[in-house]
Amino acid sequence: MDCIVRVFRAALLGISLLGVAFQATASEPSPFASAADQILFRSTRQDGPGISALVSKDGKVIYRASRGMASLELHVASSDDDVYRIGSITKTVTAATILLLGQQGKLSLADPLSRFLPDFPHASDITIAELLSHTAGISDNWNVDPGLSLDTKALVGLIAKQPLDFKPGGDWRYSNSGYMLLGAVIEKVTGRRWDQVEHDLVLTPFGMAHTGYYSDDAVVNHLVQGYSADTRGAVTRPPFVSIDGPMTAGALAATSDDIRHLVEGLNNSQTFPSSLLKQMTTPARLSDGSTVPYGYGVMLDRVRGEQVFEHNGGIEGFASQYVYVPEEKVTVVVLANSDAGKPNARSVAHQLAALAIGKPYRRFDDVTLSKGEVSALLGSYEIQGESRHVISWDSGQLYIQRAPGPKRPLTPARSELLYYAGDGTDYFHVVKSTNGEVTALEFYPDGMDPPRVEKHLGTR
């Protein structure tokens, strides 16, 4: 039956190429839906990798759309019920599972890792809470053939060979390995596979019927093909990576509706105790008393000045993002079948969230710069101390870099603006003297005042 549906979808490609705009012919779209459609159209090519987007408010879906292709090879357009690999959004499910096991009395967040993995190095110095908050110092700096299928014991053995990145509790560093160790803890206290436990404690109670761990050889209804890009930006297939490896750090796949159920389930005391949610969304505290913007499986951020709880996910061929605005009870989910930032799941999710709370981001009208205008922009800009932004030009493209981070392409826009290509949330205003010399950049993080002024230091 699924094959028939897929063929039917392919046959209707000429219609589906109209994407979300086709929905507008059936009934007059709301102003919100029209503006949301434009965000998807600006960020996604209909003949490129696809996207599934969803917005709900007060538990009711107010916008749903898919655009792009579930399979470029088979010319199958994206659909709202497609299944995407969600990468690190899996960590939210894992954290909720650990907290529920704690509520059952099977573990405590204050427990040392040695209670469950007594032979793991420094296990007596590491707590379950520190694994949940990425403050345990567990290193990701280990290498293995990503195509190998590894069980929990083998993964724990590989992680154990690496020294700690820092003293537990003393710093914060995102750690996939730490969440894999949580998977080993789940299996130790339950005597069952991690995915079976997560299914029973979180997925089923939350109504996440299409979410699960699917092995490398599994045939999954509506699982879309993942894509990447080469150095020239052309779409490619990503290298094969066994889904066994990421386990509790990133091995789940889901639909956009199921991620909505996850977010809304966590924020509903009928399905998830409010005391546990408070633990998940409280900033982790380091040994020096400072805090970091991460709780337990949840990132803490702001969108247009509003507090949000969110998480992103990136795995070969896929990118994902959810955003929850507690003050407005707004949930946004964006899933993409490309790991190349086109479409940019985080940017689209933040733009939809901003729109839903009535604080939309600025629109940009792209322009082409002259050689002289490009030359005037090049060079270093002082951020603070020795930190610098460097703008460069390569093969017809402007780039900006804050070392040791990667170079990011910039797009020029009207009114002397520059924004990250494919994004549209953060932007720079180019400050010039009366004679046209570039003297500084004004950086608007998340498009918000006040800007950070970065003095132009020239090309030295």
In a domain, 116, yes or no: yes
Residues 449 and 314 in one domain: no
Looking at the structure, do residues 404 and 259 belong to the same domain, yes or no? no
**What is the token pair recorded at 335?**
């899933």
CB 41 within 8 A of CB 18: no
Tokens for 413? 């826009």
202-205-208 Cα angle (round to 5): 75
Task: Please indicate, yes or no, if residue 428 is contained in any of the structural domains.
Answer: yes
350 and 415, same domain (yes or no): no
DSSP bridge pairs for 401? 390
**pLDDT greater than 80 at residue 27:** no
Q: Which residues constitute the domain of residue 289?
A: 87-356
Residue pLDDT, tens place only, 194-231: 999 999 999 999 999 999 999 999 999 999 999 999 87
pLDDT at position 8 over 70: no
Residues 286 and 411 in one domain: no
Alpha carbon distance 82, 259 (integer Å) = 12
Is 258 a member of any domain?
Answer: yes
Domain match, 280 and 402 both: no
- For residue 363, count other CB atoms closer than 10 A to its CB: 11
* Residue 186 token pair: 């789940």
Would residue 46 count as lying in a domain? no
Query: What is the CATH classification number for the domain harbouring 133?
Result: 3.40.710.10
- pLDDT recorded at residue 7: 34
Domain boundary among the residues 332, 356, 380 is at 356
User: How far does CA 421 lie from the centroid of its chain?
Assistant: 17
**Two tokens, residue 23:** 């929905």
For 65-74, how does the pLDDT look when each residue is reduced to its tens digit (9 = 90+)?
999 999 999 9
Cα–Cα distance for residue pair 53/345, rounded to 1 Å = 9
Residues 150 and 262 in one domain: yes
| SS3 annotation, the chain | CHHHHHHHHHHCHHHHCCCCHHHHHHCCCCHHHHHHHHHHHHHCCCCCECEEEEEEECCEEEEEEEECEEECCCCEECCCCCEEECHHHHHHHHHHHHHHHHHCCCCCCCCEHHHCCCCCCCHHHCEHHHHHCCCCCCCCCCCCCCCCCCCHHHHHHHHHCCCCCCCCCCCCCCCHHHHHHHHHHHHHHHCCCHHHHHHHHHHCCCCCCCCEECCCCCCCCCECCCEEECCCCCEECCCCCCCCCCHHHHCEEECHHHHHHHHHHHCCCCCCCHHHHHHHCCCEECCCCCEECECCCCEEEEECCEEEEEEEEEECCEEEEEEEECCCCEEEEEEECECCCCCCHHHHHHHHHHHHCCCCCCCCCECCCCHHHHHHHCEEEEEECCEEEEEEEECCEEEEECCCCCCEEEEEECCCEEEECCCCCCEEEEEECCCCCEEEEEEEHHHCCCCEEEEEEECC
The count of other CB atoms within 10 Å of the CB of residue 42 is: 15
- Of the three residues 325, 356, 387, the one that is the final residue of a domain is 356
Task: Report CA-CA distances (Å) from 306 to 57, 96, 178, 300.
Answer: 15, 24, 30, 11
Same-domain check for residues 171 and 292: yes
Round to whole Å and give the CA distance between 276 and 102.
10
Q: Count of CB atoms within 10 A of residue 163's CB?
A: 10
Residues 349 and 382 in one domain: no
Q: Radius of gyration over alpha carbons of the chain, in Å? A: 23
Please state, in angstroms and rounded to a whole number, the distance separating the CA atoms of residues 239 and 120: 31
Model pLDDT, residue 147: 83
Number of structural domains found in the chain: 2
CATH code of the domain containing 423:
2.40.128.50
241-292 confidence digits (pLDDT tens): 999 999 999 999 999 999 999 999 999 999 999 999 999 999 999 999 999 9
Judgement on whether residues 332 and 444 belong to the same structural domain of the protein? no
187 and 236 housed in the same domain: yes
Residue 126 falls inside a structural domain: yes
Q: Does 431 map to a domain?
A: yes
**Residue 327: pLDDT above 70?**
yes
pTM: 0.89
Q: What is the pLDDT of residue 24?
A: 40
Q: How far is the C-alpha of 102 from the C-alpha of 109, rounded, in Å? A: 7
Average pLDDT over residues 153-171: 96
CA distance 208 to 261: 6
Is position 54 within any domain?
Answer: no
Please indicate, yes or no, whether residues 282 and 346 belong to a single structural domain of this protein.
yes
On whether residue 72 sits in a domain, the answer given is no
Do 323 and 248 fall within a single domain? yes
pLDDT in tens, 367-405: 999 999 999 999 999 998 889 999 999 989 999 999 888
Instruction: For helices 176-190 and 90-103, give the axis angle rounded to 10 degrees.
Output: 40
What band does 4 get if pLDDT is binned at 50, 70 and 90?
A: very low
β-pair partners for 335: 52, 320
